[in-house]
Amino acid sequence: MAGDRFEDVQKAIDREWMFRSLREMILIRSENPFDDAPAEGYRETEMAGYLAGQLSTLGLEVETREVRPGRPNVFGRLKGKQGRSALMLAGHMDTARTTGYPEAYDVKETNGRMYGRGACDMKAALAAYLGVVRALRDTGMRLNGDLIVCGIVDEEYQMLGSKAIGQAGRMADQGIIGEPTHLNVCPANKGRVSTKIITRGRAAHSSVPEKGINAIDQMAKVIRAFGDYNRELLGRTPHPLCGHGRFTPGVIHGGVQVNMVPDVCELEVDRRTLPGESRESVYAEFHERIRRAAEGDPDFVYEITAPTWLIAPNDISPEEPVVTALRAAHQRIFGKDPGVEAFVAGSDAPYMGFPTVICGPGGIAQAHTTCEFVDLQEVADAARLYLHAVLQLLG
């Protein structure tokens, strides 16, 4: 029965209107402010206003909830006839910065692609959501359950928007986040623990280095401590979708001038975590490795700071209804079950408070680049996939 309804409703998906909506959203500068104060172009409020207006025009009940000043989450609810279940189509409204990308807002369409900051990450999915809702409205299709379309703030930094959603209580039964996966179905992704390791010494003149304790020399012990860490991680039992954890020393600073023995050295490291790993377990591994490397050195002093980045892994069952619904949509539309895989980056999914799968148009290889684009056929296909899943779960 859902399949019969799908054939009728998918014909009402207005591709050109959807693509115009995508263009309009890309032109709204909504770069994440990170640690700066939110300001025009570096916040989500203008994007939120656009999305709220579109959802209201389409007949949804719209609510905004401010997470930080000038940074509201947006919710549009299409109420079902029975309201016993709810599906949320969610996506972040912020984008990466545009440093070194002068064409970021010179939006152009060529060879079936749309170019501009936010094109694939992830305003394309938001446009596809709008396309689904408009097709439902234009055909007069009434769902049994509630469909919620949600615009989220701060995915590019601290996930404040999705954390606020999860902390507010269970808003839906299932969710889809349209991060760029080339429409692959991803019920899992790695997490991330990044932190700074600081070694401390004693400053002295470089003509008498024995009077000091060189913090860079001490950091060399730390670096050696992690020399075989990736090999150890690769030897552990892999997660069935995410594979193995990874470790990378990424940024190092030490010393003030060359004729001084440095008293401080700082190394920022990045640890990609698997479902089941935590900040606490990662820190315990770090401390144990450093302790062994510095054994016997009474002058060794170090600290590990609070995380500079902390992103949880996502891991929902491949048997969740939202996962099987998207796979069934693939089978119906493309004639092939895509299976499941892991999303390679972090996402809002683990914070939403209900099982959420990642599936969206575009590729992560284009996200955050100085030539961001999305294939418009994928945007149209995403709308069809989402529509089929909506009808299966809520129809």
Residue 252 CA to residue 236 CA, distance in Å, equals 28
Percent of the chain with pLDDT over 70: 99
Domains of the chain, by residue range, sit at 2-189+313-394, 191-311
Q: What is the pTM of this model?
A: 0.93
302: enclosing H helix or E strand? strand 301-304
Domain 2-189+313-394: top CATH class:
alpha beta
pLDDT band at 1 (very low <50, low <70, confident <90, very high): very low
pLDDT digit string, tens, across residues 313-371: 999 999 999 999 999 999 999 999 999 999 999 999 999 999 999 999 999 999 999 99
Task: Look up residue 88 and give its amino acid.
Answer: M
Residue 32 CA to residue 47 CA, distance in Å, equals 12
Strand extents, DSSP E, 35-107: 61-68, 71-78, 86-92
Provide Rg for the chain, Cα atoms. 24
pLDDT digit string, tens, across residues 127-173: 999 999 999 999 999 999 999 999 999 999 999 999 999 999 999 99
CA angle 334-340-344, nearest 5°?
A: 115
Task: Look up residue 25 and give its amino acid.
Answer: M
Residue 187 CA to residue 319 CA, distance in Å, equals 10
Local structure of 77: helix, strand or coil: strand
Domain 191-311: top CATH class:
alpha beta
356: enclosing H helix or E strand? strand 356-358
